[in-house]
Structure 1
Amino acid sequence: MTLPNTASDISADNGTRAADAPAPTWRESVAVYLQPRVLIVLFLGFSSGLPLALSGSTLQIWMREVGVDLGTIGLFALVGTPYTLKFLWAPLVDALHVPLFTAAFGRRRGWLVFAQMLLIGSIVLLALTDPARAPFMVALAALLVAATSSTQDIVVDAFRVESLPESEQAAGMAAYVAAYRIGMLVSTAGALVVVSAFESSGLPRPSSWMWGYIVMAGLVLIGTVTALLATEPAQSKQAEAATAADTAIVRVIHAASGAFSEFLARKDAFAALAFVVLFKFTDAFSGTMTAPFVIDLGFSKVDYAAIVKGVGLAATLAGGFAGGFLARRYSLATSLWISGVVQALANLSFSWLAITGVSQWALALAICAENFTSAIGTVIFVAYLSALCQNPLHTATQYALLTALAAVGRTYLSSGAGYVAKATGWPLFFMICVLVAIPSLVLLGWLQRRRHFDGLQMRV
């Protein structure tokens, strides 16, 4: 099982090409994105990115519109707990069969279709709740959305790694990351446009939000159709055949113990895990409050949605390309320094927006700065996580562990952001968001001195 890499792998200590193979022509570079396996991964990336905001920022806007307190909204970050704990059941996804689904579709595709059916049901359940009158039911439904969404992520990551040959891994990773971000934008800006359209048609606000979420549930079917059209990865079939004689318990134990013991045996393993938790914390802390902040300034849902979906999407895609340039131009450690600093400083654009007041061009500039730098940070961070997963026998479980830890900042550490915003006001709050990046940068410098990045290859 090979890990995602590119034709221009970067050596972590000198930033040079890992191999002397000639660079592909532009025709070859474009053609690989049209390969069926890459297109399958692209649509699965969209399906993975779609649910995240439905239990996060979009839900926060819904709650703020109906008058839910900022502190309560901040605490709702805790419903993302499954994203931080998904490594606990990742070995189950690797080892166990889903009755009927596995027999009908195969080991990976069976889990994909099963998880997506549960995800659709969870989003519909969330659509039927009322944030103003039944916050507990909203929290429960959002928790189910996060649980089924994180399960889908586990399967999609494993499917992507196992299904793409070495020559298509780079294009597959790029397509997945881009489609994931587009899926997130559809469930934020797109959802707000749909809800506003229902309101404009005369539906009351509660019904408009309900039908908006039902439309988002229907979009999950894009991933389901993709899974049905895909073919089961050959490596998955081989792994299933190799473990056919083992009992389910033995398969689960082997998948879990090998991944955890191998990673923890690394030098400075716990420091690396702490860095994984903290690197995107500055993004997560500010992101928890971005949507309520914009609404509090007096912008409408339509204004916010138009800017996020338009210039925000363009900035995200541009940031992805910029991240790819960093990955090819600089070493892994240097790329992490650059992306870590710029994603922290981007928060100052919101402080500036809070001081200047309501202005669409100022909002567009702030959203562009956030999306551009966040995309750079995401690409480099994914490259770092992929570089840590070096044993092909445990890639899926190890990757689930690392991405689960990365979600700790978004889920637990960010849960008090609403109370901080209430106590400080918006301009100072976003300045604090810059400062919370300092611990990760201190850890980055310490790990660099300990030669943690030596031997790790950039895989984007």
Structure 2
Amino acid sequence: MLGFGFSSGLPFALLIGTLNAWLGEVGIKLATIGVLSWIGLSYSFKFLWAPLVDRLPLPVLERLGRRRSWILLCQIVLTAGFGGLALTNPVAAIGPFAVLAFIAAFASATQDIAIDAWRIDVADEQSSVELLSAISQFGYRIASIVGGALALMLAARMSWPAVFALMAVVMAAIMLVTLAAPDTPRGELGQLHETLGAVGELRPNARAALLFVVLASWTWAVVTVGSFMIRVLSPAPGSAKPPSVAEFTKGSGPWIVVATVVVPFVMAAIANGLKTRGRYVLAQAEGAPSAVRGIANHVYAALVAPLAELAQRLGAGVVVVMGFILTYALSYNLWSSFAFPFYLDHLHYTKDQVAFASKIFGIFMTMLGISLGGYLFARLGRFPTVLLGAILPAFGNLLYADLADGGHVIDAFARVTGIGFVADALGSDLRMTRLLLAICYENIATGIAGTAFVAYVSSVVSRRFTAIQYALLSSLTFLVGTLGRGVAGEAFDAYGYGPVFRAMALAGVVSVSFVVFEWARVARIERRAAKQA
């Protein structure tokens, strides 16, 4: 589990963070980096192909086991992907470079699906799923240091292609862990088919129609985003004006959210309505399904049934819940892909300084924030902690705006509190103290926010669909932020870091508003339940 946690964390650290440091150093525009960061949508949409990973036996590799076969395949693709990035010049061939990065991100997200399933499958009394999850996070954090801090330190001493070639070797070495790992046999899907084939459930043709609309809307969204990325990263020869990320996000962004969030929930509501009215439902139980219908049942159970249960249980409150989830991490998700270009190219810190501050000191501050979030949750309760998690990161953006403008407020804070004198005594200069203070606040704030969000989503999901609903809702958290990074990159190029950071702080008002609405909704339900009791 430690090795698999490392294998999961290394690609994410390299592709979503370190890769942007490389691009920023060689002069790639921030708008382009913002568009390229959309490869992170692979992690947001991974539940779409999770049924395929769960059901499809791989030729030849299947003998390794249903989970290990997929994990090994993904590790092979990731090793090749990192090697391909090492052999590609992003300045001369940003299009092929982006394709390789997307393939690697897709393989990384797919590996996460298989590793998450493996962790649940192999858990037993001696190695509980809670213990395995903790060990997995430990491996993930080690990989964040290797793919972040160590990679930056190496890049200060060798070329970026050499760094990614070395990471390809590390990824290849992890395959030994996969070959030595245990696995579990494939389970039977009889219970799933029996449930969907029971009297009163929707007929197969009705389920197929609803599933077709959901898959069509998701396909349109993915194709739309992918084709725009291709136009930006590989412009047609002789084109006068490159495509505008801001115009695309303004024109297509809302429709992408509609296609990926609203349409599936509407189909889920229609499914509930048909069953309630007794229309297009089975009058008698179905027999054993065909192979095609069996796969369709699995996809329906993964994509539509969990949403139908959520929509039925929450009613109109599902609008507030989805608004909460889509906007909660907005104020810090928008700029995460630009952290390394900001530190290295705008503020001119060295790679070693950024590696220590962001990927060593910063990870410990994140762990402190996670611990503090758990303490606040126990002492203050769920929604006060969730509200703090929405407010604190917004002020972090104001802190970074001050850092971009020279750090006058941070310097004053360091003098008043005496932190500056302590830093001097420890050998840290004023510039490094500024960076450490900003990262300290941001990582503690986002650690608290992350803990609060996990607790909130865990309270919303149904026990019947725990894994699927949690994967879906947690993935949607990054949807708006990931799409918005393209606009953020263009805005950084046009207006500079300070003004854009202040604008991002205002985005926190939206998430705070949804927290207040959700708090009021839950409190109203609890009061009603108390009166009934």
Query: Would you say the 8 A contact 2:34–2:490 is kept in 1?
Result: yes
> Structure 1 residues 453 and 276, CA, compared in 2 at 3 Å: closer, same or farther?
farther
Query: Would you say the 8 A contact 1:47–1:222 is kept in 2?
Result: no
Deviation at 1:151, TM superposition (A): 0.6
The answer for the alignment partner of 2:397 in structure 1 is 347
Amino acid at match of 1:347: N
What is the CA–CA distance in structure 2 between the aligned matches of 1:158 and 1:453, rounded to whole Å? Answer: 37
The answer for the alignment partner of 2:281 in structure 1 is none
Q: Does 1:54 align with 2:14?
A: yes
> Structure 1 residues 140 and 332, CA, compared in 2 at 3 Å: closer, same or farther?
same
What is the CA–CA distance in structure 2 between the aligned matches of 1:130 and 1:422, rounded to whole Å? Answer: 22
Amino acid at match of 2:438: A
Which runs of 5 or more structure 2 residues have no equivalent in the other structure? 194-287, 408-429, 527-533
SS, match of residue 305 in structure 1: helix
Amino acid at match of 1:348: L
Deviation at 1:243, TM superposition (A): 8.0
What is the CA–CA distance in structure 2 between the aligned matches of 1:190 and 1:397, rounded to whole Å? Answer: 35
The answer for the alignment partner of 1:183 in structure 2 is 143
The answer for the alignment partner of 1:305 in structure 2 is 355
Q: Does 1:217 align with 2:168?
A: yes
Amino acid at match of 1:195: A
**1:110 counterpart (66, 69, 81):** 69
Amino acid at match of 2:403: L
What is the CA–CA distance in structure 1 between the aligned matches of 2:110 and 2:291, rounded to whole Å? Answer: 19
The answer for the alignment partner of 1:381 in structure 2 is 453
The answer for the alignment partner of 1:290 in structure 2 is 339
SS, match of residue 133 in structure 1: coil
Cα deviation digits, residues 8-29 of structure 1 (max 9, x gap)? xxxxxxxxxxxxxxxxxxxxxx
The answer for the alignment partner of 2:504 in structure 1 is 433
Query: Would you say the 8 A contact 1:51–1:187 is kept in 2?
Result: yes
1:206-285 equivalences under 5 Å are 208-221=159-172, 223-233=174-184, 237-239=186-188, 248-259=291-302, 260-261=304-305, 262-267=309-314, 268-285=317-334
> Structure 1 residues 74 and 171, CA, compared in 2 at 3 Å: closer, same or farther?
same
**1:82 counterpart (33, 42, 47):** 42
SS, match of residue 87 in structure 1: helix
The answer for the alignment partner of 2:216 in structure 1 is none
> Structure 1 residues 227 and 421, CA, compared in 2 at 3 Å: closer, same or farther?
same
The answer for the alignment partner of 1:404 in structure 2 is 475
The answer for the alignment partner of 1:134 in structure 2 is 93
Query: Would you say the 8 A contact 2:462–2:469 is kept in 1?
Result: no
Deviation at 1:165, TM superposition (A): 4.4
Amino acid at match of 2:381: S
Deviation at 1:212, TM superposition (A): 0.5
What is the CA–CA distance in structure 2 between the aligned matches of 1:174 and 1:431, rounded to whole Å? Answer: 36
Q: Out of 265-274 and 113-122, give the one that drifted further.
A: 265-274
> Structure 1 residues 68 and 453, CA, compared in 2 at 3 Å: closer, same or farther?
farther
1:24-173 equivalences under 5 Å are 40=1, 42-102=2-62, 104-165=63-124, 168-173=128-133
The answer for the alignment partner of 1:361 in structure 2 is 433
Which runs of 5 or more structure 1 residues have no equivalent in the other structure? 1-39, 199-207, 456-460
Cα deviation digits, residues 33-91 of structure 1 (max 9, x gap)? xxxxxxx1x43222212112322221211111111122222222222232222121111
Equivalent residues, number: 402
> Structure 1 residues 395 and 127, CA, compared in 2 at 3 Å: closer, same or farther?
farther
The answer for the alignment partner of 2:200 in structure 1 is none
Amino acid at match of 2:339: T
Cα deviation digits, residues 90-111 of structure 1 (max 9, x gap)? 1111222122222x22222222
> Structure 1 residues 333 and 172, CA, compared in 2 at 3 Å: closer, same or farther?
farther
**1:316 counterpart (346, 354, 366):** 366
CA RMSD, 1 decimal: 2.8
**2:517 counterpart (435, 438, 446):** 446
Percent of aligned pairs sharing the same letter: 32
Who wins on radius of gyration, i.e. which is larger?
2
